[in-house]
Structure 1
Amino acid sequence: MSPHHPVSSAMADLIRNAAIEVIPLKGAEEKVKAVPAGTTVTITCSPKFGLERTLEHSAQAARAGYRVVPHLAARQVADETELRDFVGRLTDLGITRLYVIGGDADVPAGKFSEAAEILEALSGMDHGLTSIGVGCYPEGHPKIADEALLTALRRKQPYAHYMVSQLCFDPAALVAWLRRTRESGITLPLHIGLAAPMNTRKLAELSLRIGVGSSLRYLSKQRGLVGNMIRGDAYQPERLLLGMGDALTDPDLKVSGIHLYSFNQVEATVDWQRRVTEQAA
């Protein structure tokens, strides 16, 4: 498939309006300047950097005119007081969106150990949040059984407005999972988690690190990953969307957005968005 293969107007709209995920590393605020004004920028949350770093970078992005979605990891929140303080600071910044995850910390900071517990606590608070997202795992989780993941998604559904999928490179696997999930009663709109265009070798390393090895094996067989790594070619994100076919716009499957995992390759991500949408059929 040619890297210049035109996408449909519906797909172009999804790509054009995609949220771009940024990791709050040193210098990230400069990288974000490459993003067009008004774009949705999500700021990750990890045990390495803590909640304060997420808030700092969220504040910078909000002041720069972006629609900001901070991530909040349940395992980093000590108690309701800290949770109330976190969302209160978002309100002060004019931020009304939040993405809630369980988090990677081995030991919880306090009483919260999963996203559903944060959502339930938020439901009893007076806050200004108007949109809350949660995670989902089309190819499973290396440490959590599939049935437990589905149970957790059912528990989160009453409090959330959409779900974001973990990285996946296999369009057939993504569509099959989405159909099963809809049949199981999950109606949350899906934002497809899509890897940004980056050097294939780096993408392979990152993917193995976050536990999407089975999808990476698909990519290696179907897309010539080894050859791409040797040549230093870049991964083309639109291939997954094109591979989904009519499922991408099937109203029953409720794909409503795209979440771009930029891995802080922000300029390349924005350039890809521009190039692909300009070629829309």
Structure 2
Amino acid sequence: MALVTQDSRNIGEDSGHGLGERMRKLLRGHSIEITAKDVNSLSEAAQLVPAGTSISVTFLPGEDVDARVAAAGAAKRLGFSPVSHISARRLKSTAELETFLSRLAQHGVESAFVVAGDPAQPEGPFEDALAVIQSGLLAKHGIGRVGISGYPEGHPQISEEKLWRALKDKHAALKVLGHECEITTQFGFDAGPVLTWLERVREEGIEAKVRVGVAGPASVKTLLRFAARCGVGASAKVMAKYGVSITKLLTTAGPDRIIEEFASGLNPRIHGDVALHFYPFGGVKNTAEWVAHFAGLEAVR
């Protein structure tokens, strides 16, 4: 994470040719996450985002099915590829899942991201993401590409052993059922753990595309708040590494430094197919503008 300044340049201008190309590739294949409330913001940013970009629509408590379906439909109409999130433990019945998937199909949605969700106990018949995958309902309603979660820095409530078992089981189930699999990670502030985790992913025989989560430009105070809420490591050591101190909490920071560090250490032969997934904590348009500027994509449409 590095501070964004007025004189920030497009990537590659002061980087080695190979590094600049790797950074551009990561940025050009990026995806963006939105909530159902971000539809207007996505519309405002549409001209800055390449057509066909994957737009993830979260499954947050307090947002109803109508809002989630409407957001996915809006993303589709804007020329993007909506990825509707499904929180397994928040589903109260199989019928609720069927209805949701059926309505998404009416908008041409072909991708979903399945996660267990936050409730300690399921509110219905689905214990976890694997249960939703194995139900066969995703394929029944035209979902071909399925995203699952990855945790390079671990999970505060789940052991590392269980995380790896869950990842391998979900990947295997999707392969058996004929789905295309993608893995999207939680956002972080340090590239090192991500690269180490990616290496193990490939050693475990998982060849799926991995979308590495990074936070879009936002105030440092906002980034720290989301990090604490999501259980992301944001130690004083890591924050200092990226030039952020307690006296700069209201300063806007963007992910240019961590992306450069990540691209520097990325080796496709070891780490496989990788792209970036942006969490726009500072706003969808701000994130889209940042990506367009740093990737040299100011006129994408």
Question: TM-score over 0.5 for the alignment?
Answer: yes
Aligned partner of residue 290 in structure 2, secondary structure: helix
Paired residue for 1:221?
240
Paired residue for 2:103?
89
Paired residue for 2:30?
18
Residue deviations 1:37-87, cap 9 Å, x none?
Answer: 623211100223244432221122223332211111111222333222222
Paired residue for 1:251?
269
Pair 1:188-2:211 in alignment: no
More moved, 200-209 vs 232-241? 232-241
Change (3 A) 1:51 1:106: farther
Question: Does the 8 Å CA contact 1:51/1:72 hold for their aligned counterparts?
Answer: no
More moved, 244-253 vs 158-167? 244-253
Q: Percent identity?
A: 26
Paired residue for 1:175?
195
Please point out which of 49, 53, 63 is paired with 2:77: 63
Whole-Å separation in 2 of the counterparts to 1:211 and 1:72: 20
Question: Does the 8 Å CA contact 1:62/1:93 hold for their aligned counterparts?
Answer: yes
Structure-1-length-normalised TM-score? 0.89
Per-residue deviation, 1:161: 0.9
Question: Does the 8 Å CA contact 1:132/1:162 hold for their aligned counterparts?
Answer: yes
Per-residue deviation, 1:240: 1.6
Correspondence 1:21-32 to 2 at 5 A:
21-25=33-37, 28-32=38-42
Question: Does the 8 Å CA contact 2:182/2:209 hold for their aligned counterparts?
Answer: yes
Aligned partner of residue 134 in structure 2, secondary structure: helix
Pair 1:122-2:136 in alignment: yes
Cα RMSD, aligned residues only: 2.4
Whole-Å separation in 2 of the counterparts to 1:228 and 1:180: 38
Question: Does the 8 Å CA contact 1:165/1:193 hold for their aligned counterparts?
Answer: yes
Paired residue for 1:145?
159
Moved over 6 A (4+): none
Please tell me the residue identity of whatever aligns with 1:258.
Answer: L
Paired residue for 2:123?
109
Whole-Å separation in 2 of the counterparts to 1:246 and 1:205: 28
Question: Does the 8 Å CA contact 1:21/1:263 hold for their aligned counterparts?
Answer: no
Gaps of 5+ in 2: 13-19, 175-179
Paired residue for 2:54?
40
Whole-Å separation in 1 of the counterparts to 2:42 and 2:144: 24
Count of paired positions:
276
